[in-house]
Every structure is written in C-alpha cells, then in structure tokens.
Structure 1
Amino acid sequence: MRVGLLASFALLLAACAGRATRTSPPAALPALSVAEQAVADARQAERELALQQDSQWSLVGRIAVASGRNGGSGRLEWAQHGGRFEVSVSAPVTRQSWTLGGDDGGARLDGLEGGRRDGPDAAQLLREATGWDVPVPALAYWIRGARASGFGPARLDYGPDGRPVRIEQAGWTIDYRWPEPGDGVATGAESAVPLPSRIDARRGEARVKLVIDAWGVDG
C-alpha cells in the first residue's frame, strides 16, 4: 500500500517538475558587529511577537521537494488558523492533489491512494505515507521568517536590512529571500510585518523549497 501512495505522490510532484524554482543560499552571509547583532536580535524578537498576533494567515505559491534522488514540485495552498492548519498541494497537469490538515490534537492526510490516513504528528504522517521529509509544524513558523516554537534553540543570521537571511534550528538550515520592488508578491490584507518571498530549507538530503506568490493576513 505504501508503494502505491509513494507512486501517487511522486506522480503528483513530477507533473510540475519542469517548472520547479531553483534557489541558491546566499554566497556569503554578512558579518555584523556585536552591537549590530544585538539590534538585529531585538528587531527579530519584535517581528516574532507581531507574527504571533497574526495567528490567521494564508498563502499560495509553489513547492519543490527532494529526498535523495527523487523530487518534484507542485502548486501550494496553506491556510493557518491559530494552531489549526490545512496544506494542499496540487499538480494542474494530472489534476491530482492531496491535503494535509490538523492541529495540536493530530493530523489527517487526504487524497492519496488508499484513502484518508490519520496520525498524531503531521510530519511523521506525511513521511510514513510518502517517504518525504517535510517539517510541517516548524514550517508554519519558518515560512514567515520566525524561529519555530518548541523546536529548541536557533541560530539566526541577518542581512543589512535586519531581516533574517538564515535560520538554523532542529537540524534544518533555512535560507530566505525577501520581496524587492517589482517582484510582484501580493501581501493580501495589510500587515506591518514583512514576509518572505522564498525559502530554501534543507537537512541532509532533504530539501524543501517554497516560492510565495501571494500572502493573505486575516489577523
């Protein structure tokens, strides 16, 4: 049964593989003085506090996932309502899709061969059903440029504008791109907190790349 699930998921992602977005981590991270680091850390703490208050948000974009020699990409929709989430990935060519949803009480996976699956942890459920390593609960934080609560200490590196260009946490390294004028990233409802346009998360052979086309902040 797991072979069928993996094949279905691989087909879904491979349908958009030709359009996968390739992003590279920064060639060299900027060196900050002790004083500059302290200022950047304080601003990041303010950012993360503001992001906690924006507990309802959504995005649409593209995801590219790789694990070892396998990989592909698809269309991504993510809706977050406090601790409750729903993540959908679809391939327009094959018209196949799956949805992963849940909250602190557990997770469910719908749309793959074999029917609905349930489990206590979203990342584990997805990994067992498909073989893909995607840190879903932590991504809910990392995707907005924040440290993930409950995942241990984190190291942050900042750019000249004080925004994080890299977060290292829970064995993952997450590199960031931020919108520039003309990028065309829609922010939806007005938000006082800048949000990333791309992230590249990696741990060992696992890769998760996200390109955000539009953010929605429902506050």
Structure 2
Amino acid sequence: MSVLQESSPLVIDHLYLWVSKDGTAMDALRSIGFIPKTTIGIHEGEGTASHVIYFDNMYLELLWIEDQAELDASLAKQPDVIPIGDTWRTTGHCPFGVGMHYRTPDTAPMGFETRRHTAQWMPDDSLLELFPQPSLYVPPCSILHGSLAYWESRFEHPHGHALGVQQLTDFQITVTSLDAVPPTNPLLSLLPLKLGAYPLLELTFDDQRQGKVFDMRPLLPLRLYC
C-alpha cells in the first residue's frame, strides 16, 4: 500500500536528498520558481543542516554536512545512521530519504519493526521511528511523531511558489540495487522503487497540470513534473 494512496494510514511527511553545503542546489530550485523557507535548520548534535521547501501536503528537504566533527561524534553513538553526502555519484548509494507520519495523530500504529530516535534539535514532544535500512542502495525511512510530524502551522508558502505548484501527487525513486532487500521488507510496499543505472528522485506536482518538466541533473539527481 503506497503512502500516497488515500486509504493508507501513512502519508509522506517529507522527502530529502543530500546536497553540498554551498547552496547551489537551492539556488537552482529557486531559479525555476520554488520559494524555500526563509531560515536554515541546524540539527544540533548531529552535524547536519537543511533547507526546506514547503508544499500543501509535504516538504522537500535539502540536507548537507554542516560540522564534520560533530557528525563523527554522533556516528560514534549511532553507527547505523550513515550520511551519504556526495558519495552517491561514485558509489551508486541512495542519496534520498523518506519521512512519513500517520494520517492523523490518533491513527492506529501499523506495528513495523523500528528503532526510536530522538535528538537535541527535535521538539520535546517528538521522536522518529527508524526503519532498519537493509542496504545503502535504498532510502532510509522513518515515521515522525509529535509536532515534528504535524507541522502544518509552520507553513510559510503553502500557495506562494512562483511556479504555481501546490501538492505532491506522485513520486518515484530509482535505486541502483535491490539485491539486499528481502521480499518481505515493508519498504517495497510503501515506496515506489525501481532499478536504474543512477539514483533519481522524480516528483509529480498537481498531476502535472502545467505540462512542465524540469530535469535538475547533473547538479541534482532530481526530475520535477509540474
């Protein structure tokens, strides 16, 4: 059951991709008419930072390594959380991640095998459930809880993009290997994954009513249908 189906108890909270720290990735998205949040989020204690673009039903997050020493200290405590950075260009590892939340805070949990995760930058009422990641070739996934998940009150531009897009209506993630993923892994039913030569995230907004396509490669492994 896909997290974009109306019958799914889980919905997309956000999608993220690893980028370089220099800001060129967000500049490229601005140039085609996206308006990001005015502030950058620093993930204290984890050595990363991000810049996000809000839409009506999810947000797109560009994530980078902000402080390597802080990141190394964090990884010493949780070595299974592995940053990809720009290494995907040579390794084929997946540079994307998927955050989900339950359709409402009262939705009955689905009972997946997950690991609880908190961090000092998160609101006190929030936590992540991290799915085991069977391979670096598939996206890490999590379920968000608390105000970290139900962030609608923090919208800055729910309808304000110059490009005129509002909602994510479909997405596809291309990965370079699924060999290490067991057939019973929930990621295979929750996420639209397909095999390809290079990682690619394809996002469709508003059922592509404008008939526009923006291919952000080679700067970003991202193709947008608007």
TM-score by length of 2: 0.26
Name which structure has the greater RCO, CA cutoff 8 Å, separation 6+: 1
Instruction: Identify the structure with the greater helix proportion.
Output: 1
